Amino acid sequence: MADRRIGRWGAVLTVIIVERAKPGLRGQLTRWMLEVRAGVFVGTLSARVRVKLWALVCRRNYTGGSLLLYRSPNEQGFMVETHGDTSRSIVDMEGLLLVRRPLEGA
């Protein structure tokens, strides 16, 4: 059986989540990724394609929030980036990424 692992510079699993995105942006993302649920896109992308798609999302989803997850050589094994108005924020605590939720009723 052939070794199917992707090399250090190859394509990796990427997840992009968009909230309140226009149908045109969602359509452009489906050219490269699968929309497994409304606003949740999953695909195996090279770093170059991931960077270009994320720039497109940041440019075109100015009314909503966006989140990008991808593999990274850190302690957790992944990186998280956000853009726009998301309901949660990502906090870096000594190299570990944590999710901060807003207080209920605040």
At residue 86, the pLDDT reads 80
The residue type found at 81 is E
Q: What is the pLDDT of residues 74-90, one digit of tens each?
A: 889 999 999 988 878 88
**pLDDT band, very low/low/confident/very high, at 12 (cuts 50, 70, 90):** confident
User: What is the reported pTM?
Assistant: 0.83
Instruction: Decide yes or no: CATH 3.40.50.720 for domain 12-100.
Output: no
Q: Determine how many CB atoms are found less than 10 A away from the CB of residue 43.
A: 21
Mean pLDDT of 1-12: 58
Domain boundaries of the chain, sorted by first residue = 12-100
For residue 70, what are the CA distances in angstroms to 3, 14, 78, 96? 22, 5, 5, 15
